[in-house]
Each structure stands twice: as C-alpha cells, then as structure tokens.
Amino acid sequence: MNTRIKFAALLLLGASLAACESGPGRCIGDGAIVEMSDEKVLVNLDQDGVAIQGYDPVAYFTDNKPIQGDAKFRSNYGGAAYYFASAEHKAAFDAAPAKYAPQFGGYCAYAASIDTISPIDPKFFEIVDGRLLLQHNQRAWDAWHKDAAGNLVKADKNWPGLVAKDGAPPRILLNVDEKGLALEGYDPTSYFIDGKPLKGSPMLARQFQGATYYFVDVDHKNAFEKEPVKYVPQFGGFCGYAASINKVSTVNPEIWQLVDGHLVLQHTPKAYALFNEDLAGNYVKAEKYWPGLAHRRCE
C-alpha cells in the first residue's frame, strides 16, 4: 500500500473508531470502587452487575429463604450490586455488608472446593458459622455435604488463587449488547477448539464477569467453565487495533486471531491488517492502554 492511500485509510479508520469511542459496551461492576489499581475481584454478576441473580442476601439470614430483591433498594459492595426486599434489609446490609454478602463471590461453594468456579441456583443455600454459602444445583449440594466441613476448608484455601486467576477489576468495560450477550452469540471456545467462530445456542448459556456467552454444545460449555479466562476475548471484547491506538471500537466477531493463546477481535479487515503490521508491538500497546480506556469510560 502506498503512503498516500495508507494515510487516507488510516484517516477513515480513525474517524470510524472515534465515532464508536463514546458509544459501545457496558460498564459492569461496582461504581463505588473504580479507582485505578491492581486489585481484582471475582463476583458472580449478571449483565447489570447484580449479585445472586437479584435475590436479597439479608433474607437468607432473617427469613431463612431466598427472596427476590427490588432494584429500588440497592447497595454496592465488593464489586457487585445487591438488591433487597425492603429498606430495612438494605439498612442491615449497609451496616455490615461483609456479614451478609455470600461467600466465594456468590459462586458455588462446592466448585470452589474443587478449585473452579460455577454459577449457582439461589434456592440451594445454607448459613454455616454465619456465612452464606450457595451451590450450583442438587448434585453440587450432595457432593458438598459428603464432607461439608472438609470442603469448606478446601474452598477457603482455593479461593485466593481463583481470584488471582479468574478475577477482574471491580468495574470493567465489556462489549455486550443491551441484554448482556457477548460476541453476538458466537461461542468463545469455538475459536480455540474448532479454529473458527461458531454460533452458540441460547439453551447453552453461561455468565462470566457480567457477560453472557452462548455455546455450541455441552463439551464447549464445559471447557469454558473449567478455564473461563482462557476463552473470553481480550480488551473486553473490543477491537484490538483500536485499543493499540488508545481508542475503543466495536468488532466483527468473524475477524479474529489468537495471539499468545488469547482471542483478539478486530473492527474491520483494515484494522486487522494494521494490527498485524506490528503484531507484538501493537498487542503490547493495547495491553498498556486498555486499563486506562476502560477506567475512563467507566468512571
């Protein structure tokens, strides 16, 4: 490409990226702790950044049953929003949030005991020594109670490592639609397993870090659940080239590549070409700029 044509292409691409910079994506997580830091949290959030699928954490203690919270009674704590059934429950939580927040980030306690993370069914719960424990399903409940005391010790031991491995900043910018769906429904594991993007099924959905992902089949979903951070796209699912020039842009999920085992998506074929003119250098730039980009968009 000659210099003049290349410069014109860069101008057009820059205009496109600038037009997108203020618009795409959603900020997920606790707006009360958005300052830049290396802190990671690992919390089981829905697409609105709400924990326990909107159930009231205080109700487990006061009513001994799951009760759906109301968005008008809301508090932020530890990277998540919590909903409450009443103003009284919200006040109790605000006075002692660590007392009421679920253990293991609201993920399945049994999963933590075997050094992984898994979603929960809010109906499977118990209070143990003043700690709210949630489980994935009946199978996890039964496995946990084969040695509840021992499994709690294992979960406590494993949890810091899980946070280090799978955690994210308290507030993150994600390229998801209005319903929280990432990758336009493409299966994130298919890029790795099949070498091409394949559309997933809404019947095989999994949430991670506030985004919903669809999967081709149970094997793909299970692969994701074992190592979610391995499969989620880099830079919040936004354009890798845009991040390398300190911008945010949407992507075409069919324009992709694996870079050092990470999924990188691009805005257009031109963005892909420019990114790959200096793949290693541009990837380093994107990694450098991305935290600041996400922070500015989410502050």
Answer yes or no: do 215 and 285 share one domain. yes
Domain that holds residue 91: 41-166
The pLDDT, as a whole number, for residue 23 is 52
Answer yes or no: do 83 and 161 share one domain. yes
Q: Could you say which of 166, 192, 221 is where a domain stops?
A: 166
Residue 33 has pLDDT above 70, yes or no: no
Answer yes or no: do 151 and 204 share one domain. no
Answer yes or no: do 190 and 279 share one domain. yes
pLDDT band at 32 (very low <50, low <70, confident <90, very high): low
Residue 156 forms part of a structural domain: yes
Answer yes or no: do 74 and 125 share one domain. yes
Residue 139 forms part of a structural domain: yes
Mean pLDDT of 28-38: 57
Distance (Å, rounded) from C-alpha 126 to C-alpha 170?
A: 26
Q: Counting runs of H as helices and runs of E as strands, what totals does the chain give?
A: 13, 10
Q: Cβ(61)–Cβ(131) under 8 Å?
A: no
Percent of the chain with pLDDT over 90: 76
In tens, the pLDDT along 227-236 reads 999 999 999 9
β-partners of residue 214 are 205
DSSP state of 253: E
Residue 32, classed as helix, strand or coil, is coil
Answer yes or no: do 19 and 47 share one domain. no
The two tokens of residue 205 are 């959905």
Answer yes or no: do 102 and 71 share one domain. yes
The pLDDT, as a whole number, for residue 17 is 43
- 171: part of which helix (H) or strand (E)? strand 171-174
Answer yes or no: do 45 and 160 share one domain. yes
Question: Long-range pairs for 91-94 at CB < 8 Å and ≥24 separation?
Answer: 92/58, 92/62, 93/57, 93/58
pLDDT band at 27 (very low <50, low <70, confident <90, very high): confident
In tens, the pLDDT along 181-232 reads 999 999 999 999 999 999 999 999 999 988 999 999 999 999 999 899 999 9
Answer yes or no: do 24 and 90 share one domain. no
- The whole-model pTM stands at 0.77
Backbone angles phi, psi at 173, to 5 degrees: -100, 125
Residue 215 forms part of a structural domain: yes
Answer yes or no: do 56 and 158 share one domain. yes
Residue-by-residue DSSP string for 58-70: HHHHHTSS--B-E
Residue 172 forms part of a structural domain: no
Answer yes or no: do 18 and 103 share one domain. no
- State the pairing for strand pair 252-259/121-128: unpaired
- State the pairing for strand pair 26-29/171-174: antiparallel
Split into its structural domains, the chain has a count of: 2
